[in-house]
């Protein structure tokens, strides 16, 4: 028998009627002769409600206690879904992340999975039971409950699929697949039949919320057969694979964007060999991700600008101010209310005119570019947050992502 891992998001489980619908879909997969592991998120807006409760008590909750609180949301989902499956006559059992053997590093709120002890799951699968696992959570080697960060249920599902050597991993969500851009903001975005691991990883890192970046990393590293599809509609989704099917004239495959970006600038940094290392080591030790970096310097001093998530601004400033004497800088300034807009496509490698086309299109509509970052398959720009949607729509049209037709190799 083949093993199939299926993940359902919180919107698919927001009511008991939706839970029953999900249970029926799971039974359909089981009846096809498969062993089934289901990974679920917390119901509906449960995580937001729990965050709100904590916020009513403190502005700075301990990360350990937040993990204890937030991990309860998925526990409700797994028990209710298991009850629904049992009521339909199917043997099923629910596991929290730690019961399922998910071991993480010792970092609260943003932990990474380091191992999955699959013996317990394999034992129950061999008896024909459906296993329902709480996503988004795990446990450290010394027994501390951890969470994986927003979107961590995707990571849980793919990691379990890799550990069990599953035939497929289905990410069932409230969209029918991966689109050329977010259809809520870009009116003519279309669904892609397939996309490469590399392209999907870039899109996920750049703000496309359909998949968590770490889930794509797991899929790529372990060659997991991954598909994003609708949780409610029975139609083919988007397959994420090593090499996506080619599409005619397709250089750019997607436009991603993300709000909540802040540009932080460190002025008067000593122009010494270890200056950059001191700054970014301090930020990394405090789990603060840095993205686009721009350096300018004079003979004796250096200024350094980099982009971070706005939610990390307070922590970043505190870390740098605490290390001010060690790092040796004069002052810090920041510009908030920014957004990052990116184009992604493996075809960009052999098309050097893409950057010029992108900047010209933005300039023609008087959209100021504040920072730029590039790689082989993506170009990102930082713009004012109020220009984000307009920039995305312009670039989606400029690269004719709504017009491309599928061709079969």
Its pTM stands at: 0.83
Give the Cα separation of 7 and 37 in Å (integer): 9
CATH of residue 159's domain is: 3.40.1160.10
Per-residue pLDDT of the chain (409 residues; tens, 9 = 90+): 899 999 999 999 999 999 999 999 999 999 999 999 999 999 999 999 999 999 999 999 999 999 999 999 999 999 999 999 999 999 999 999 999 999 999 999 989 999 999 999 999 999 999 999 999 999 999 999 999 987 899 999 999 999 999 999 999 988 899 999 999 999 899 999 999 999 999 999 888 888 888 899 989 999 999 999 998 888 899 999 887 665 555 789 999 999 999 999 999 987 766 778 889 999 999 989 999 999 987 767 889 999 999 999 999 999 999 989 888 899 999 999 999 999 999 888 878 889 999 999 999 999 999 999 998 899 999 999 999 999 999 999 999 998 755 443 3
Give the count of domains, the chain.
1
Is 76 contained in some domain? yes
Strands 238-241 and 194-196: parallel
Is 196 contained in some domain? no
Is 86 contained in some domain? yes
Which range marks the domain in which residue 121 is found?
2-174
Angle between helices 275-285 and 313-322 (to 10 degrees): 130
Is 347 contained in some domain? no
Is 32 contained in some domain? yes
Is 142 contained in some domain? yes
Is 88 contained in some domain? yes
Q: Which residues of 195-209 are buried (b: 16+ CB within 10 A; e: fewer)?
A: bbbbbbbbbbbbbbe
Is 290 contained in some domain? no
Strands 102-104 and 2-8: unpaired
């Amino acid at each position: 028998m083949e093993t199939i891992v299926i993940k359902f998001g919180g919107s698919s489980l927001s009511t008991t009627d939706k839970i029953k619908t999900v249970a029926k879909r799971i039974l359909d997969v089981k009846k096809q002769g498969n062993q089934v592991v289901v990974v679920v998120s917390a119901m509906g807006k449960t995580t937001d409600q729990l965050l709100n409760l904590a916020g009513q008590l403190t502005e700075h909750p301990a990360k350990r206690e937040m993990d204890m609180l937030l991990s309860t949301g998925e526990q409700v989902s797994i028990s209710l879904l298991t009850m629904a499956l049992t009521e339909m006559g199917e043997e099923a059992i629910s596991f929290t992340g730690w019961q399922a053997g998910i071991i993480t590093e010792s970092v609260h709120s943003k932990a990474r999975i380091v191992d999955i002890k699959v013996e317990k799951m394999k034992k129950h699968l061999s008896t024909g039971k459906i296993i329902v696992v709480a996503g988004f959570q795990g446990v450290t080697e010394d027994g501390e409950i951890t969470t994986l960060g927003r979107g961590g249920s995707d990571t849980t599902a793919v990691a379990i699929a890799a550990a069990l050597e599953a035939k497929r991993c289905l990410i069932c969500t409230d969209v029918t697949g991966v689109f050329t851009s977010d259809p809520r903001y870009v009116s003519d975005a279309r669904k892609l039949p397939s996309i490469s691991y590399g392209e999907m990883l870039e899109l996920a890192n750049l703000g496309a919320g359909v998949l968590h970046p770490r889930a794509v990393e797991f899929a790529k590293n372990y060659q997991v057969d991954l598909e994003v599809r609708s949780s409610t509609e029975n139609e083919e989704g988007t397959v994420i694979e090593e090499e996506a099917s080619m599409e005619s004239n397709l250089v750019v495959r997607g436009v991603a964007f993300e709000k909540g970006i802040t540009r932080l600038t460190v002025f008067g940094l000593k122009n010494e060999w270890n200056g950059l290392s001191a700054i970014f080591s301090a930020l990394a030790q405090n789990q603060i991700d840095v993205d686009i970096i721009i350096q300018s310097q004079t003979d004796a001093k250096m200024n350094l600008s980099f982009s971070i998530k706005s939610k990390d601004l307070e922590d970043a400033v505190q870390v740098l101010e605490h290390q001010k004497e060690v790092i040796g800088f004069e002052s810090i300034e920041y510009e908030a209310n920014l957004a990052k807009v990116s184009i992604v496509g493996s075809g960009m490698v052999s098309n050097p005119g893409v950057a010029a086309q992108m900047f010209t299109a933005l300039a023609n509509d008087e959209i100021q570019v504040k920072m730029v970052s590039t790689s082989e398959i993506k170009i990102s720009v930082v713009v004012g947050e109020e220009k984000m949607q307009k920039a995305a729509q312009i670039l989606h049209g400029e690269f004719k992502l709504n017009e491309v037709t599928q061709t079969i190799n």
